[in-house]
């Protein structure tokens, strides 16, 4: 069964990290009750750098509790709490090897479409207390994913999630992460990814660049 376990938000704040002041919204914390999930974000949430975070293609970030269990074991930690990975929705039953780019899900009364995987940045390493975390996070494929909001609605912990459409090409989140970051010579895979209308524009440009690079030698 797929369901929402927690809704997590935060406004951007400035933190000191490695001698620099960084503005970030990664410190998400659970909120109680029902909260509006809108086209650009969830009420009460914000991004520190809107040039690379947020927007229609990355309105809501989703991460699964199954991944929490993996990292608890892998890292030997028992202090991972909802919002730990900067996600807006902590969910159950939506893992990267079963969710496809272009899948559409009913979340409570709202409707969302999977647009792209999450690519970790230095802020995740900061949040986890270890900069080295970024590489194994990406390699594992347990990166979570972003959705665009097709139908706005309130959302809360306990809401059921239902897949109402399977994305064309049935390319999983885990597969497309591997394709772009670890299998860049797979041009047929890149062409397949580009056949998915729901794929976020930034990922589309990356795959198009791979094809152009190949055609020009």
Q: Which of 158, 177, 163 is nearest to 112 (CA)?
A: 163
Q: Please indicate, yes or no, if residue 191 is contained in any of the structural domains.
A: no
Q: Please indicate, yes or no, if residue 183 is contained in any of the structural domains.
A: no
Q: Please indicate, yes or no, if residue 216 is contained in any of the structural domains.
A: no
Q: What pLDDT score does 48 carry?
A: 63
Q: What pLDDT score does 15 carry?
A: 87
Determine the Cα–Cα distance for residues 202 and 217; give it in Å rounded to an integer.
23
Q: Please indicate, yes or no, if residue 30 is contained in any of the structural domains.
A: yes
Q: Please indicate, yes or no, if residue 158 is contained in any of the structural domains.
A: yes
Q: What pLDDT score does 215 carry?
A: 72
Q: What is the CATH number of the domain that holds 61?
A: 2.40.33.20
Task: Name residues whose C-beta falls within 8 Å of residue 200's C-beta, 6 or more positions apart in sequence.
Answer: 57, 58, 115, 116, 146
The number of distinct structural domains making up the chain is 1
Q: What pLDDT score does 80 carry?
A: 96
Largest CA distance in the chain: 55
Structural domain range at position 14: 2-165
Determine the Cα–Cα distance for residues 88 and 25; give it in Å rounded to an integer.
11
Q: Please indicate, yes or no, if residue 71 is contained in any of the structural domains.
A: yes
Residues of the chain below pLDDT 50: none
Q: What pLDDT score does 53 carry?
A: 66
Q: What pLDDT score does 87 carry?
A: 97
Q: Please indicate, yes or no, if residue 160 is contained in any of the structural domains.
A: yes
Q: Please indicate, yes or no, if residue 56 is contained in any of the structural domains.
A: yes
């Amino acid at each position: 069964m797929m369901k929402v376990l927690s809704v997590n938000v935060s406004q951007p704040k400035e933190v000191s990290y490695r001698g620099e002041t960084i503005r970030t919204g990664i410190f998400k914390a659970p909120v109680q009750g029902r909260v509006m999930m809108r086209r650009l974000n969830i009420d009460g949430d914000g991004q520190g750098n809107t040039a690379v975070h947020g927007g229609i293609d990355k309105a809501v970030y989703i991460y699964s509790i199954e991944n929490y269990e993996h990292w608890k074991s892998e890292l030997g930690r028992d202090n991972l709490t909802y919002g730990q990975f900067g996600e807006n929705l902590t969910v159950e039953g939506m893992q990267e090897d079963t969710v496809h780019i272009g899948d559409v899900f009913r979340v409570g009364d709202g409707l969302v479409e999977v647009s792209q995987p999450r690519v970790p940045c230095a802020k995740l390493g900061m949040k986890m207390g270890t900069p080295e975390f970024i590489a194994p996070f990406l390699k594992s494929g347990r990166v979570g994913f972003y959705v665009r909001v097709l139908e706005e609605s309130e959302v809360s912990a306990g809401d059921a999630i239902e897949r109402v459409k399977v994305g064309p090409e049935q390319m999983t989140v885990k597969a497309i992460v591997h394709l772009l970051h670890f299998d860049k010579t797979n041009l047929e895979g890149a062409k397949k990814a580009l056949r998915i209308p729901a794929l976020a524009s930034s990922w589309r440009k990356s795959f198009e660049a791979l094809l152009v690079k190949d055609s020009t030698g």
